[in-house]
Amino acid sequence: MFLFAGFLLNPAVIIAEDSYPSSVILFIGDGMGLEQIYFGQLVEYGLVDTSSILSFPYNTTVSTINLEGTTTDSAAAATAISTGVKTLNGRIATNWNAEMDLTTILEIAQQNGYATGLVATCHLTHATPAAFAAHDSSRGHYQAIAEDFSQANVSVMLGGGYGESYIGNYISDFVDQGYEYIMNRTALESVTNTPVLGLFASGSQPPLHTMLENSTIPTLSEMTIKAIDLLNATNQPFFLMVEGSQIDWAGHDNDQIYLAHQIIEFEKAVRYVKTLAEQNSDWQVLVTADHETGGFSVEDYSFQTGIPLETDSFTEKQAKRTARAQEIEVDWSTLGHTNTRIILAGMGPYTEQIQNAVHHVDTFSIMRQAIDGEIEPVESGYYTGFLPIYVRYLIGLSSAAIIGSASYLIMKRIIKNRKRKT
Ligand SMILES: [Zn+2]
């Protein structure tokens, strides 16, 4: 009876079958800790509703540590998620010494006949989207990453970065391959074919709380809705990665107003796809983060402003979100990233395995199963490169020991000689 009631509450649990190929939609909230999700829920829904991110049939928390066992950056974290292999900070889908390109989940999807998409509010050459369709020793090599993108055959790419420091120099390569290149919200609304490259800002998109209703720049949820429409229309299974890129930047700034608008917009995109997935039992939807940023926590709240209503205008909603964000007392412990465990939640094929996930690399395995039924990364194992690093530490330790004892012996002799002289 108990179980039966559970099934009624979660129709996805009863109808989802573990079969492949299934479409995979992966949401990554950059810098999104559990408290950030809760904060967004308080601002947007108060006690009326739960964040869609916290309402999936399966959820757990996973570790984000990089290959060295230290705090990750977005590049190493995105590589762990996209390839199933832990690496060093800064690497874009390459192993620890950057000698091996690691096959990404987007590339595996393409090899299996999938249409693919990347959506973000940063410039697309930024670490998280880069780690799905480029390979480089460093996240800072934007031109090399843009060149990789221009050869990656991604069906839908939407975000920022038409400036020459980012993708600007490669736009003609995309157009030559038949991409429709669009630069504003109106063009995004009317586009109907893939492949499409939509770059809506020179660099990253401006922070949402500074944008006006009639902005020429689409929001994350508008880009997500369009990407799903376009990918669905290909009649192929598809892989889509959507990043809430600036949750991280709000964390680095310790700015709760910036954070509120970013996390709420990300949640709206998740909510839209989750609702669709309830009608598409063969879609795998996953939501995770790459790491937490800011050591953020909600301390207390006392609201004077009501929650944003469906009937409110864009500007009214924006003002309410800003006011409510300030009515919450929060605490930040750092301007950087933390090792706090982050959420992995989902629905659809193979997502019951979320319950056994312990690290980012398991997210890769869950996605890969939905694409070709395999679990392992294409390259050799989760800990590719771990041994050389271990050996490197041992060499470091023994050199320190040798230098240390040699200096001790020399000092001893000098002191002895001095004593003789006196
Ligand atoms: Zn960051």
Its CATH class, for the domain covering 23-382, is alpha beta
What are the two backbone dihedrals, phi and then psi, of residue 398, each rounded to the nearest 5 degrees?
-70, -35
Can you state the angle between helices 74-83 and 360-372, rounded to 10 degrees?
30
Q: What is the pLDDT of residue 393?
A: 57
Distance 161 CA to ligand 1 centre (A): 18
Distance 139 CA to ligand 1 centre (A): 12
Nearest CA-CA partner of 296 in 243, 249, 349, 334: 334
Q: What is the pLDDT of residue 211?
A: 84
State the CB neighbour count (10 A cutoff) for residue 59.
19
Q: What is the pLDDT of residue 385?
A: 45
Give the C-alpha distances (Å, rounded to integers) separating 246 from 103, 231, 253.
26, 24, 11
At 252-311, the pLDDT tens digits run 999 999 999 999 999 999 999 999 999 999 999 999 999 999 999 999 999 999 999 999
Distance 290 CA to ligand 1 centre (A): 9
Distance 75 CA to ligand 1 centre (A): 10
Distance 293 CA to ligand 1 centre (A): 6
Give the C-alpha distances (Å, rounded to integers) separating 334 from 40, 256, 279.
20, 14, 41
Distance 339 CA to ligand 1 centre (A): 12
Distance 201 CA to ligand 1 centre (A): 20
Distance 101 CA to ligand 1 centre (A): 23
Annotated catalytic, 405?
no
Distance 336 CA to ligand 1 centre (A): 7
Q: What is the pLDDT of residue 419?
A: 57
Check residue 102 and give left, alpha or beta (phi > 0: left; psi -120 to 50: alpha).
beta
Non-local (6+) Cβ contacts of 392 within 8 A are: none
Distance 91 CA to ligand 1 centre (A): 14
- Supply the DSSP symbol for 169: G
Return d(Cα 263, Cα 122) in angstroms, integer.
Answer: 14
Distance 30 CA to ligand 1 centre (A): 7
Q: What is the pLDDT of residue 320?
A: 97
- Supply the DSSP symbol for 245: T
Q: What is the pLDDT of residue 304?
A: 97
Distance 247 CA to ligand 1 centre (A): 9
Give strand pairing partners of 330. 298
pTM of the model: 0.88
Give the C-alpha distances (Å, rounded to integers) separating 376 from 229, 274, 398, 406.
31, 27, 35, 47
Q: What is the pLDDT of residue 322?
A: 97
Domain ranges of the chain: 23-382, 385-422
Instruction: Pull the structure tokens for residue 317.
Output: 């909603």
Report, as ranges of residue numbers, the positions in the chain whose pLDDT lies below 70: 1-16, 380-397, 415-422
Place of tokens 């063969």: 282
Place of tokens 């004077």: 304
Non-local (6+) Cβ contacts of 224 within 8 A are: 119, 242, 269, 272, 273
Q: What is the pLDDT of residue 409?
A: 77
SS (H, E, C) 351-396: HHHHHHCCEHHHHHHHHHHHHHCCCCCCCCCCCCCHHHHHHHHHHH
User: CA gyration radius for the chain?
Assistant: 24
First CA to last CA distance, the chain:
94
Distance 414 CA to ligand 1 centre (A): 50
Nearest CA-CA partner of 242 in 267, 261, 259: 267
Spot the catalytic one: 63, 74, 82, 204. 74
Return d(Cα 350, Cα 371) in angstroms, integer.
Answer: 10
Distance 74 CA to ligand 1 centre (A): 6
DSSP letter string, 108-158: HHHHTT-EEEEEEEEETTSHHHHHHH--BS-TT-HHHHHHHHHTS--SEEE
Q: What is the pLDDT of residue 407?
A: 76
